[in-house]
Structure 1
């Protein structure tokens, strides 16, 4: 199979996974939200923040280095496998030690055992992680996608079953552990048939992996902290109830970026790495990525902005209607956040993860300051501060990251959003009119609104650029 065919296959399968995962995730939260209160979502936000931060250390950037390096020996794979095991066990022990202090900081003793229980997934993941990365590196997206779909459906089954039996917030934690266990077992069994791991350990053989991966890991840590600093501070300043409301809104807005962007980036990282020395090809195809992702993400987030209230009521029930205010505000933040997200394909391809590290230092310094100041006014002010900050970051990010890596000018960078911005502005107007005057139920409101919004959005996008429909298919390279 040629590189072009593998690219199309990867995009196709990642698209299927995205659709299934999105539907399953929405269904899971929709069911669970009716059985737990918003304070539980606040607790879950803290637990996920702690475990997500810990996950940044679970491979020290080795995954990125494995995708970048084209020739890796069996001995090197083996050393990386056992190193990952030892590292994750060590991290789990640290989690067990610090969880009581985290619970004390937020004045909620439940956090101690919730964090430790969720932490079990950390010592499970190394079983199949190396094998997963090898399959991703070899563009085996068919297999990866099928397992991801099965895992999503399994997670939904576990979550619904346990919440119906009264396990509350634990149903989501058990789901995470179950999903991690399933993935680890499947990738380990399938991977051992193709790539045998030896009982071999020599760190000298893999020093180069750490040199490449260390900047990526450091960048991920700082980047994650910048994204989660609001959760860290709001949980302390406003309590679990308000944090639960805010985080539900933020997670809803992040879904397009988490679910849609990987369709391109998971395929793009290994493929871009193969043409890393062709700046012209990198530039041309990265602009295509931005155009594709902006049209999709801006369309979804604009629709969410207009119909935030019926969406929240339908997904979480009427008791969570306050979430809609934050959904509308953070949808604006999400539009600019999704634009910067795919730059990882350029950094990995060019081996310049150090630039991402420098950029993350700026974010991790500036973001907490804006949140801290805004928190003196209200939690709503914090949401608005994120929108303003992300808009300013758009321009700074181009100068520090995009231009040095790809020679893309500011005009080209901003121009890649033209179709998405104009289409969104035009489609929002008739949708707002419908949302203001139509008094039907939430479902009919969303159906009619979705139809009207979709017709205007797609229609305007097609008028502006008739090739937009085929743009996704053009995500290939002139040099195969």
Structure 2
């Protein structure tokens, strides 16, 4: 059938450009972060971390799930897109004003007076980001990840330059604010430059009701997810200090480099790809399981390797002053390794148009997460991180329940698909940890040897044991080369 090669070609290209964009952007951001972490203090990062939950929640209201609704709708019109555009601008302005007047109360909550001005400035990103959601959604729907990768890379380089310049000139935490504001501005300008779409002078209540009918459930589930994901910084900042929160956010940022990259790649490519198969359950299940296996094969060793070499990595890159982040990073890696698997399971519900189940799952999972948070919080930040591991695993069981009902690929089948990868990744992580901990050499050499040994061990054992995921990755690369010819 001609449709299958077309879908495969689009998916391969999508994976390639989405991966290239994410890893190149994160690579630039990682380098910028390393330099800035040496110039700034844990408290500087902690102050910005205290505001994350307020900006993130407001951003969820601004988008309101309209981006996913536009991507899913195959017969979207210019009226649909224009309606979403104008709604985003109005919503963003409303929430900026709300945060502007709430800023003094946020500062009082944390007992950090300088948060008043920080809140009022950083909140401008809400209005700026509201101008490019439609353009970005349309490019994603067309799987035009080459252009989005280019935009993201240029933005990362330009905003990184702004942040570094301010950090070198002793702006402190304002260097982080400048980086985020400039990132939002560059991103909007580039999306308007590369996108052919422009808003028309039309607002359709019919389009709003149709898109919001789907997106509203994503809004509420997104609010739950955003609130829960940022409740740890909120509690750490309130119960401990800005410096302690800085250590936590640094550990989470290190762990997020591989985890978030793979999750973004999988979500960005799997959702539009699976949407084209939404009416063919057999092909949907086959493609879905392939995404699961390949995701685990890539992300699990990355996270276990990161946990194993955490000590030499942190000390080599950002210095001894960040040493408290090492243990937190090792624990968080075991939690965040499951994020891409969560993302694929949730994408299936969106593909099937079951945003109601998506919302129901989010409510259940957040109740589980809050339970583990309440139980672990009295025992310190390390215990909170351990509780996050148990929460992530329990939530995976919940996530896979409806997947099993809809296409008969439930928890045990998915764990069976990933079991060999899990065992091999743990073995590799243990090897890297032993090298990083017990080799009596400099941290830099420990890091280099650990990475090389772990990579050779993992790939070598995968080839020896004939992992099908390795063969599938090789085929993806060959298909990409054919697609370019």
**197, 201, 215: which is aligned to 1:195?**
197
CA contact (8 A) 1:314 1:442 kept: yes
Equivalent position of 1:244 in the other structure: 246
TM-score, normalised with respect to structure 2: 0.93
Shift of 1:437: 2.7
Equivalent position of 2:45 in the other structure: 41
How does 1:338-349 map onto structure 2 within 5 Å? 338-349=340-351
User: d(CA) in 1 for partners of 2:139 and 2:341?
Assistant: 27
Equivalent position of 1:459 in the other structure: 460
CA contact (8 A) 1:291 1:417 kept: yes
TM-score, normalised with respect to structure 1: 0.94
- After superposing on structure 2, the runs of 4+ consecutive aligned residues of structure 1 that deviate more than 4 Å are 473-476
**9, 21, 31: which is aligned to 1:27?**
31
Shift of 1:2: 3.0
Shift of 1:474: 6.0
- Give the length in aligned residue pairs: 473
| Distance 1:74-1:397 versus aligned 2 partners, 3 A rule | closer
**234, 237, 252: which is aligned to 1:235?**
237
**9, 18, 21: which is aligned to 1:17?**
21
Shift of 1:406: 2.7
How does 1:154-169 map onto structure 2 within 5 Å? 154-169=158-173
Does residue 390 (structure 1) correspond to residue 378 (structure 2)? The answer is no
In the TM superposition, what whole-angstrom CA distance separates every residue of 1:78-134 from its partner, at most 9, and x where no partner exists?
A: 222112111111111111122221111111111121122111111112222211211
Unmatched 5+ residue regions in structure 1? none
CA RMSD of aligned residues (A): 1.8
CA contact (8 A) 2:331 2:386 kept: yes
Shift of 1:4: 2.5
CA contact (8 A) 2:368 2:394 kept: no
**135, 139, 142: which is aligned to 2:143?**
139
How does 1:325-474 map onto structure 2 within 5 Å? 325-399=327-401, 401-472=402-473
How does 1:97-176 map onto structure 2 within 5 Å? 97-176=101-180
Task: Return 32-41 or 339-348, whichever deviates more.
Answer: 339-348
Shift of 1:473: 6.0
Does residue 226 (structure 1) correspond to residue 228 (structure 2)? The answer is yes
Shift of 1:266: 0.7
How does 1:300-311 map onto structure 2 within 5 Å? 300-311=302-313
Shift of 1:19: 2.0
Task: Return 370-379 or 140-149, whichever deviates more.
Answer: 370-379
In the TM superposition, what whole-angstrom CA distance separates every residue of 1:230-275 from its partner, at most 9, and x where no partner exists?
A: 1111211112122211221122212222112222221221121111
Task: Return 445-454 or 198-207, whichever deviates more.
Answer: 198-207
Shift of 1:140: 1.6
Q: SS of 2:338's equivalent?
A: helix
Equivalent position of 2:65 in the other structure: 61
User: d(CA) in 1 for partners of 2:369 and 2:266?
Assistant: 27
| Distance 1:464-1:422 versus aligned 2 partners, 3 A rule | farther
Equivalent position of 2:214 in the other structure: 212
| Distance 1:405-1:262 versus aligned 2 partners, 3 A rule | farther
User: d(CA) in 1 for partners of 2:466 and 2:419?
Assistant: 10
Unmatched 5+ residue regions in structure 2? 480-485
User: d(CA) in 1 for partners of 2:237 and 2:383?
Assistant: 15
